[in-house]
Structure 1
Amino acid sequence: MNGAQALVKLLEQHGVTHVFGIPGAKVDSVFEALLDSPIELVLCRHEQNAAFMAQAVGRMSGKVGVCLVTSGPGVTNLVTGLATATSEGDPVLAIGGEVPLDDRFKHTHQALDGVDVMRPVTKFAQSALTVHSLPEVFGNAVRAAESGRPGSVFLGLPKDVGLAECSVDLARGWARPVQQGAAAASELSRAAELINASRKPLLLLGMQASQASSAAALQAFVSRSGLPYCATFQGPGAWVAPELFAGRVGLFRNQPGDQLLNAADCVITVGFDAIEFDPSLWNSGSARPLVAIDVLSPDQDQAFLPSAELIGDLGATLEALAPLLQPSVDADFRRSGDAAAEELRATAAEGAQLSGTPLHPLRVIEELRQVVTADTTLALDVGSNYIWMNRYFPAAHARQVLVSNGQQTLGVALPWAMATNLCRPGTPVISVSGDGGFLFTATELQTATRIGSRFVHLIWNSGSYDMVAFQEQAHYGRTAGVQLGTYNVVAFAEAFGCKGYQITSADQLGPVLREALQQSVPVLIDIPIDYSQNLKLMQNVHQDFIH
């Protein structure tokens, strides 16, 4: 058995079912080893997309998604995907080929210090410089990816290490998961004291709170405590406790949930990372106590300095805290939460009454609500479409709606939809992007048809980078660098063996969606979108937060 075969065996033992990648001479030994493995290789069209697919697997499964690339540009093309995974809490193991050890410090073909490249965007980056150290590097990498707040890791594999004879015992518990318990008893007591003394307590649920592994504990905690809550774009939504949900917050500080957040006299964050919604925008200058419930202690910040820090397993901590709480929530504050939820529902309901072409975003959302079932997964790209969707589209369960809320990375929706097919086979998948973001990753449609993916992809077509455009307009009174050309979506779909639809009136969309969900190939739906009201999305926005 050589090093590459040993690495594949380690992946098998860890339960990996798919590897996403592009081959090359420095890493071909691993591709050869995969031929004799039950692990399925998904051959991609671009390394960045392989990283996005691995990220989606990590987000939905809680275990590392794996991408495999060659040295040099193969490794550098992973950077955006790995940075996105790390900042958004998704476990990914990236394996990158490297030149042989003797060429390591030479100016030779595809020589690159991949570890130095990857350190800023991963939780762990290390090369296996001997075949005997390979299981150690693998184990430490996977444990880093999956423990604490998950993220991406990089394992460099020199070509000669992959080919070297390996006699290391692989059955010794490499990559054994790290278990956490509940937070410290003293911090639990302190948190309960603060919450019980408050009259306007509010939960702010972040991205790690949306993990399926802690969903039951979170639902039980919210229901038992009766605390109203809001969520970030990537956090859990109304499914936790619909009667207590005040909506999503993030990006622009002008939502109904923000009004409740401003009024709260104690904010309890659960699985929240500052990258989701900068605390300087919602807590600057506030003397109210903060309680942080998380798997890692947060970085100290002038605007985010918790009075109690409950660090441990989220589910176990919530279970331990719940019996200590006897909150007395102010009636007017609770009514404000109900009013916030009703405002969101009322705005979303307007969609059914909107007609005409181009289509209003709320009409598209209304038609989606009619076809999305509890087992449907939605993958959202970044752009104006994702602001509308995150504000007004409900989620029925943990990780049902996938969104890039840390790096706000363009192009993720299509690769995520493909990976969802593999993680949740036989369930409906719908992805959404703008016309700009779609073409970032659209070459993977060929991969999608080759591996038998089925999903429906909606293109909200404005002929521009509209999320940039309306913010520029508000900030400068004009736009720059945002206008795009047009392309024939139906012909593009057919060129890749997919099915394409062109929407010409609002009444078409519902029937087309239902027909599209029955197709046996990927479907593209081109929707001319009316973004004329987008400036309303950012009314009262903090000007320092313009992107």
Structure 2
Amino acid sequence: MANKKTGAEALFESMINQGIKYVFGLPGAKVDKLFDLMQYSDNPKAPKLIITRHEQNAAFIASGIGRLTGKPGVVATTSGPGVSNLATALITATSEGDPVVALGGQVPRNDVARLTHQSIPSKELLSTATKDSVEVQDSNNISETFANAYQTAMAPKSGATFISLPKDVLDDNVTTETIDPLTPIQQGGADQATINQIIEKIKNAKLPVILAGMRSSDSEVTASIRNFLEKFSIPVVETFQGAGVINRDLEKNYFGRVGLFRNQIGDAMLKESDLVITIGYDPVEYEARLWNVDRTGEIINLDSIAPEISNDYQPDLVVQADIAKTLNQLSQDLPDISLNDDLKSHLHQMQTNFLSKDAVPERKDAKGVHPLEIINKLQNQVNDDTTVTVDVGSHYIWMARHFRSYKPRHLLFSNGMQTLGVALPWAIAAALERPDHHVVSVAGDGGFLFSGQELETAVRLNLNIVQLVWNDGYYDMVKFQEEAKYGRNSGVAIGSVDFAKYAESFGATGIHVDSADELDGALKKAFAKEGPTVIDIPVDYSDNIKLLSTLLDDYVN
């Protein structure tokens, strides 16, 4: 018989058993017993409680932990609006494959069906935002519920899970043991017959191309892709969440990223290929109706989950297995083959033309700093260990197309939900997980204020975060597309904010720059300081219309 404990204590012990390092959230009466346990525990393995300024941001930070580590981040909130504020962050995590366990306080069980203070149907509310949403009805089930939520969040396709915790369940006594540490989920590689099928398709292809998707950024999968490329050197196109699959030693294999508008070198490469090998590809990043237009070649879908079939995506070979194990076996069995010399020359010319687009254009009477100037200055400042988180906006398109990253999950985008406000919370997660390296957060002036209050959290934790704000006074990603469609914009103008002073009001360092030359010095100063620094940059978006330029004849805006 186990020693008696409360439901809150059973949950606390369960988090310790599963190795939870942090819990992010806001306090409230329905979860105060759990928060008290975390705040005052003398157990060195207890998760650290980190209070944030908004529940949505707490969940964003937890999802950042999930993306960086592959293990679920944890967020805990009180009942009512504390729970409902989680919805956007959890649906983003589930869409983009980031494991999260969300804990939400709930009114006592006998009040759940009544219109009482903060009584909402929490489980039902978050059921469509998560992989699984449950409400605990017996305190003896708390530990196993947490263990299953943890495992479900981590299992392919990773995503968010939610546990509703009525206050009386957390207060009740528990007589069952807590669940032991879980063993990792293991998948097997593809069988030999399937490996042989893949090899035959590769041998018969003139131009096989890898499309590296979100699940290719797992460290073991990335290593297996690099191992394969050492054996057979072919082009690789990254999705935004596949950024960093290609390292410096394999730059000759890098043919850009695809996402949003179908006018990149990666789009041309995929169309030209007679065999696209999708690795960990998820259509939420970039639908096949965009990149698989009028192709006559085959597709091999290699993933840990079954693909979503559509009129535009019907792979010729579907391999559902451990990706890394399958690729490593493929590399071992693949005979020595290579692309022909004429094709290599053609690819080299394509890549040369692609790289020329990184050059900053000459401008007269420029007002503000050109996006490519900001990117080039930042690229020169960071190293391969720097984590760069990117919010959503016009800057995100420029960064995805031109900023290079050579390690997986070191350049983070929201390209499933395209959710505003993710960059700073993700940067906080990165600074906690990678404390020996600077972290850069990149946002527009609109998106930054979706989560800018967490600057206080970063200051409180003394995190080395450099926040760049591309400031133009508009929701510009909408603005330039409206102007391309209608010749005018509507509903996109926002007021002016001095973000340097804003930073100082939180106790961070604030810097305003007016030119690319000043940005050099500001970046060096920010990287030399401890704690958060915000750099306010007036950006010149006059070249944004070029983001909509046509590359392929069949491209339809």
TM-score (normalised: structure 2): 0.94
Q: Which of 449, 472, 483 pairs up with 1:473? A: 483
Task: Indicate the SS of the match to 1:137.
Answer: helix
Q: Structure 2: which amino acid aligns with 1:105?
A: A
- Note the residue ranges of structure 1 that are not aligned, 5 or more in a row: none
Give the Å deviation of 1:325. 3.0
Give the Å deviation of 1:334. 3.3
Kindly report which structure 2 residues correspond to 1:416-455, keeping only aligned pairs within 5 A, or say none.
416-455=426-465
Kindly report which structure 2 residues correspond to 1:472-511, keeping only aligned pairs within 5 A, or say none.
472-511=482-521
| Residue equivalent to 1:199 | 206
| Residue equivalent to 2:270 | 261
| Residue equivalent to 2:196 | 189
| Residue equivalent to 1:24 | 28
Q: Is residue 2:141 matched to residue 1:145?
A: no
Q: Which of 326, 337, 360 pairs up with 1:350? A: 360
| Residue equivalent to 1:322 | 331
Q: Deviations over 1:5-39 (max 9, x none)?
A: 11111111111111100011111121112121531
| Residue equivalent to 1:44 | 52
Give the Å deviation of 1:462. 1.1
Give the Å deviation of 1:300. 1.2
* Distance of aligned partners of 1:2 and 1:307 in 2 relative to their CA distance in 1, 3 Å threshold: same
Give the Å deviation of 1:356. 5.2
Task: Indicate the SS of the match to 2:211.
Answer: strand
Larger mean Cα displacement after TM superposition, 205-214 or 58-67 = 205-214
Give the Å deviation of 1:342. 2.2
Q: Which of 209, 212, 220 pairs up with 1:213? A: 220
| Residue equivalent to 2:18 | 14
* Distance of aligned partners of 1:21 and 1:354 in 2 relative to their CA distance in 1, 3 Å threshold: farther
Q: Deviations over 1:459-516 (max 9, x none)?
A: 1111101111111111122111111110111211111101111111221111110011
Q: Is residue 2:257 matched to residue 1:248?
A: yes
* Distance of aligned partners of 1:352 and 1:363 in 2 relative to their CA distance in 1, 3 Å threshold: farther
* Distance of aligned partners of 1:505 and 1:68 in 2 relative to their CA distance in 1, 3 Å threshold: same
Give the Å deviation of 1:343. 2.6
Give the Å deviation of 1:355. 9.9
TM-score (normalised: structure 1): 0.96
Q: Deviations over 1:40-72 (max 9, x none)?
A: 111011000001000110011111000001111
Is contact 1:204-1:269 (8 Å) kept? yes
Q: Structure 1: which amino acid aligns with 2:31?
A: V
Q: Is residue 2:91 matched to residue 1:83?
A: yes
Give the Å deviation of 1:172. 3.7
CA distance in 2, matches of 1:451, 1:76: 26
Q: Structure 2: which amino acid aligns with 1:347?
A: K
Larger mean Cα displacement after TM superposition, 281-290 or 52-61 = 281-290
Root-mean-square deviation over aligned CA pairs: 2.0
Q: Which of 92, 109, 113 pairs up with 1:105? A: 113
| Residue equivalent to 1:71 | 79
Is contact 1:352-1:366 (8 Å) kept? no
CA distance in 1, matches of 2:362, 2:332: 43
Q: Deviations over 1:343-402 (max 9, x none)?
A: 332222437999954111111111111110121110100111111111111102111111
* Distance of aligned partners of 1:103 and 1:536 in 2 relative to their CA distance in 1, 3 Å threshold: same
Task: Indicate the SS of the match to 1:291.
Answer: strand
Q: Structure 1: which amino acid aligns with 2:298?
A: P
CA distance in 1, matches of 2:334, 2:155: 28
CA distance in 2, matches of 1:330, 1:508: 48
CA distance in 2, matches of 1:249, 1:263: 15
* Distance of aligned partners of 1:253 and 1:334 in 2 relative to their CA distance in 1, 3 Å threshold: farther
Kindly report which structure 2 residues correspond to 1:150-299, keeping only aligned pairs within 5 A, or say none.
150-173=158-181, 175-237=182-244, 238-239=246-247, 241-299=250-308
* Distance of aligned partners of 1:200 and 1:459 in 2 relative to their CA distance in 1, 3 Å threshold: same
Q: Deviations over 1:207-236 (max 9, x none)?
A: 110122322222101221212111111113
Q: Structure 2: which amino acid aligns with 1:488?
A: D
CA distance in 1, matches of 2:366, 2:280: 41
| Residue equivalent to 1:415 | 425
- For this pair of structures, how many residues does the alignment match? 545
Q: Is residue 2:415 matched to residue 1:405?
A: yes
* Distance of aligned partners of 1:353 and 1:485 in 2 relative to their CA distance in 1, 3 Å threshold: closer
Q: Structure 1: which amino acid aligns with 2:224?
A: A
CA distance in 1, matches of 2:273, 2:236: 11
Give the Å deviation of 1:118. 1.2
Q: Which of 519, 530, 537 pairs up with 1:520? A: 530
Q: Deviations over 1:396-435 (max 9, x none)?
A: 2111111111111111111111111111012111110000
| Residue equivalent to 2:369 | 359
* Distance of aligned partners of 1:260 and 1:285 in 2 relative to their CA distance in 1, 3 Å threshold: closer
Q: Structure 2: which amino acid aligns with 1:141?
A: A
CA distance in 2, matches of 1:500, 1:424: 23
CA distance in 2, matches of 1:22, 1:544: 47
Q: Structure 1: which amino acid aligns with 2:379?
A: R
* Distance of aligned partners of 1:401 and 1:331 in 2 relative to their CA distance in 1, 3 Å threshold: same
CA distance in 2, matches of 1:328, 1:540: 32
Larger mean Cα displacement after TM superposition, 305-314 or 333-342 = 333-342
* Distance of aligned partners of 1:466 and 1:333 in 2 relative to their CA distance in 1, 3 Å threshold: farther
CA distance in 2, matches of 1:9, 1:392: 46
Larger mean Cα displacement after TM superposition, 132-141 or 52-61 = 132-141
CA distance in 2, matches of 1:443, 1:203: 40
Task: Indicate the SS of the match to 2:300.
Answer: strand
CA distance in 2, matches of 1:8, 1:354: 61
Q: Structure 2: which amino acid aligns with 1:131?
A: S
Q: Structure 1: which amino acid aligns with 2:548?
A: M
CA distance in 2, matches of 1:9, 1:496: 35
CA distance in 2, matches of 1:499, 1:49: 21
* Distance of aligned partners of 1:63 and 1:535 in 2 relative to their CA distance in 1, 3 Å threshold: same
- Note the residue ranges of structure 2 that are not aligned, 5 or more in a row: none
